[in-house]
Amino acid sequence: MKKKQISIIGVPMDFGQMRRGVDMGPSAIRYAGVVDRLENLHYEIDDLGDIEISRPEKLDKLSEGNLRNLKAVAEGNTKLAKKIDEAINADTFPLVFGGDHSIAIGTLAGVAKHYNNLGVIWYDAHGDLNTAESSPSGNIHGMPLAVSLGLGHPTLTEIAGYGPKVKPENIVIIGARSLDEGEKILIKELGIKVYTMHEIDRIGMTKVMEETISYLKDRTDGVHLSLDLDGLDPHDAPGVGTPVIGGISYRESHLAMEMLAEAGVITSAEFVEVNPILDERNKTASVAVALMGSLFGEKLL
């Protein structure tokens, strides 16, 4: 990691899906000791606190078409994009805690304008490539990657006043094992690079990360890591809203983070979908913090 200063930004957002509790993710991750962990690695940490997200009880849950809570999701992400922008202008590394994965819309809106060719590693069981038309659920947390490609409702694709944020050839999805039909079509049409669980089983995480790193190094000038905890197997990360069995192991995930640290390619990161209500004694938040340790260069010896 190039920058020695990290800005932590919490996003207690749960409007991108239907299970309450994921808004407590940022607290759970802090409680699991993230600041000490990163300070021990000699980073200077500035915890900027949480983005203000309206409470659902107060909200007129304005949905549009098949886009649940569209207005609330757009509002939160607009604020987030601004905060990210400030963190990067202050020459710090933005480290974002979710919240559901719809917050990647705001993170990428804030990050992408600082790069000509931003790369994205999407570590996830899902593709999150749905649009209102293809989504089986209407949940916006299943859409952020499509939105960042410029596909979807303009209220989302134009956040921060520009779009698209990323190019399909600069994206690598790792850990996919649950894709909707429309997502599969889009992946083929756009030629997005995907390592499904099949490839991870077959060639191993070492090869997957070697290939990912050299692929992105060649074509990008910065790489954002968007890590959905449901990319991991539910055995290791049970506290998520949309678990899918047969996922990436704790060990493989550490290896992936260690290889990213060694390569020094990551320029911003977010850890999302931690839901303490569904968790077992804060296990998933602790796993997230352990992975952040590896991402920022922690070693045993």
Ligand X SMILES: NC(=[NH2+])NCCC[C@H](N)C(=O)O
Give the footprint of ligand X on this chain (CB under 6 A). 101, 126, 128, 130, 135-137, 139, 141-142, 180, 228, 230, 242, 273
Of the listed 14, 75, 126, 224, which one is catalytic? 126
Count of residues of this chain found to bind Mn ion when the rule CB under 5 A is applied: 7
Could you tell me which of 241, 231, 293 has the C-alpha nearest to residue 24? 241
Q: Does 83 bind Mn ion (CB under 5 A)?
A: no
| Interface with Mn ion (CB under 5 A), residue from 68, 101, 167, 177 | 101
Catalytic residue list contains 47 = no
Of the listed 100, 124, 183, 270, which one is catalytic? 124
| Interface with Mn ion (CB under 5 A), residue from 23, 75, 100, 228 | 228
- Token representation of residue 205: 């995480």
- Measured CA distances, 90 to 84, 98, 196 (Å): 10, 22, 37
Catalytic residue list contains 254 = no
Which residues, in sequence order, are CB contacts of 40 under 8 Å at separation 6+?
none
Of the listed 101, 153, 224, 254, which one is catalytic? 101
Q: Does 128 bind Mn ion (CB under 5 A)?
A: yes
Q: For Mn ion, which is the closer residue by CB, 43 or 144? A: 144
The span from the CA of 290 to the CA of 296, in Å, is 10
Q: Which of residues 15-74 bind Mn ion (CB under 5 A)?
A: none
Q: For ligand X, which is the closer residue by CB, 63 or 137? A: 137
Could you tell me which of 183, 182, 144 has the C-alpha nearest to residue 164? 144
The span from the CA of 184 to the CA of 48, in Å, is 38
Alpha helices in 192-247 (DSSP H): 197-219
Among ligand X, Mn ion, none, partner that 180 touches (CB below 5 to 8 angstroms by kind): ligand X
Neighbours of 60 (CB within 10 A): 8
Smallest gap from Cβ 162 to Mn ion, in A, equals 23
Catalytic residue list contains 189 = no
Provide the 3-class DSSP secondary structure of residue 97. strand
Catalytic positions are: 101, 124, 126, 128, 141, 228, 230, 273
